[in-house]
Amino acid sequence: MLKLALRRLAFSVPLALIASMLSFVLMAFLPGDAAQSLLGSNATETQIQALRDELGLSRPLWEQYWNWLTSALRGDFGTSLVSRQPVAEILNARLEPSLSLIIGATLVASIIGIAMGIRAAKRGAMGKVVDSGSLIALAIPDFWLGLILVVLFAVQWKLFPPTGYVSISKNPALWAVSLVLPIITLSIPAMARIAKQTRDAMSTALNSSFVRTLRAAAVSERSIVHRHALRNAAVPILTIIGLVFIGALAGTVAVESIFAIPGLGSTAVQATAARDLPLIQGVVVYFTLIVIVVNLLVDLAYGYFNPRVRVR
């Protein structure tokens, strides 16, 4: 397991490098000059030159990247072109809302999705529910689903606030309330994916030879499902939970925008609209780091559930 984790860590370094390099590489494809393109055709030559100097565009790309990278390693991701605040400062403040949302959605989706998947693996009506339900749940665009929830629960029935976020440190109750609709929005497609994967993994496990041995030895169906099959199905389920977490991370882009949550996703949208390159570059790095940490945690969890991984 340690070896697996180390391998994953070794893999993370090039991953982080490639992800961070991306916007610099893309700029090379831009016709003309990034500063000109960023400011648009109405900008004066002085404005363009000022931005050029700020971004260091007169230097070759590799040198620009090197300068960015050496600063980034010290925790300095530059300054936002719009707010003039340090990028790291802006993004650190955005972490709590985003992580609350993503972790909440992953937890809700995992608990309900796994429960549904287990029931579905045992045939009967739940199998059909998971089949057709997941097809529909994965077809509904998250941004539209979020809006429909706002219409129903906030505008129509006034059960939850339509938008906004309250920090957990300010008021935990309001924090929870402000997260209900966004978490439902993110967790519905996630739940579908987890339920489907759990159903498949559980069916495979329940059809293994060892299940027959256990049945022959009078081991209860309850123990076969929960103690044995579920443990054997854990690795594929963990894999999908990791993917769902990363999917929820990407989902924050639309969902935080709808619910006006000041997180990484909504910041990324604003930065893109304002063409605030240093800020969006910072979001890429934060996203990538979160992905790396999640993958690492999933690997460690594999080892817990699968003794074959553990020994190696």
Partner 1 sequence: MTAQPDTAHTARSQRSPIGTSTRMTSRLTRAWRSQPLGVIASVYILLLLIFGVLAPVIAPYPPGKQNLLATLKGPSAEHLLGTDFLGRDILSRLLVGIIPSLGYAMTALVVFLVIGIPLGILSGFRGGRVDAAISRISEVLMSIPATIILLVVLAVFSSSPMAAMIALGLLASPGLIRVARGAALVVREEPFVTAAGVSGVSPTRIMATHILRRVLGPILVQASVFAGAALIVQAALAFLGLLSDGGQPTWGGMVGEASQVISFTSWPLFPPGLAITITVLAFGLLGDAIRDASSDEVSPKPRRRRRTAGAAVAKATTTPADAENLLSVRGLRVTLDSGVVLVSDATFSVGHGETVAVVGESGCGKSMTALATLGLLPEGVHADAGSVMFDGVDLLAGGAAAYAKVRGSQLGYVAQDALGSLDPTHTISSHLREVVSLHEKLSSADLRARTRELLEQVQIADPDRVLNLYPHEISGGMAQRVNIAIALAGRPRLIIADEPTTALDVTVQAEILALLRELQQGTGLSILIITHNWGVVADIADRAVVMYAGEVVETGSVDSIFHTPRFPYTAALLAADPSTATPGSRLTTIAGRVPPPGEWPVGCRFAARCPFARDICKEGPLPLMPMPPQSETRCVRADELKLNESLPR
Contacts to partner 1 from residues 110-169, by CB under 8 A: 135-136, 138-144, 147-148, 150-151, 155, 162
Q: Is the dihedral of CA 83, 86, 89, 94 positive or negative?
A: positive
Stretch that binds partner 1, among 46-54, 70-78, 100-108, 265-273 (CB under 8 A): 265-273
Please select the residue that binds partner 1; options are 47, 210, 226, 293, rule is CB under 8 A.
210
- Taking alpha carbons only, the member of 30, 82, 75 closest to residue 57 is 30
- Taking alpha carbons only, the member of 199, 202, 224, 222 closest to residue 213 is 224
- Please report how close the Cβ of residue 169 comes to partner 1 at its closest, in angstroms: 27
What tokens were used for 66? 């090197």
Three-state DSSP at 86 gives strand
**Should residue 307 be labelled a site residue for partner 1 when binding is judged by CB under 8 A?**
yes
**Should residue 311 be labelled a site residue for partner 1 when binding is judged by CB under 8 A?**
yes
CA distances to 10, 236, 297, 300, 306 from 2, in Å: 12, 19, 12, 8, 13
Contacts to partner 1 from residues 272-301, by CB under 8 A: 272-273, 275-277, 280-281, 283-284, 287-288, 291-292, 295
**Should residue 22 be labelled a site residue for partner 1 when binding is judged by CB under 8 A?**
yes
What tokens were used for 304? 């817990």
Please select the residue that binds partner 1; options are 58, 128, 223, 226, rule is CB under 8 A.
223
Query: Of the two residues 54 and 171, which places its CB atom closer to partner 1 in the complex?
Result: 54
- Please report how close the Cβ of residue 65 comes to partner 1 at its closest, in angstroms: 14
Query: Of the two residues 173 and 311, which places its CB atom closer to partner 1 in the complex?
Result: 311
- Please report how close the Cβ of residue 159 comes to partner 1 at its closest, in angstroms: 16
CB 239 within 8 A of CB 201: no
CB 252 within 8 A of CB 98: yes
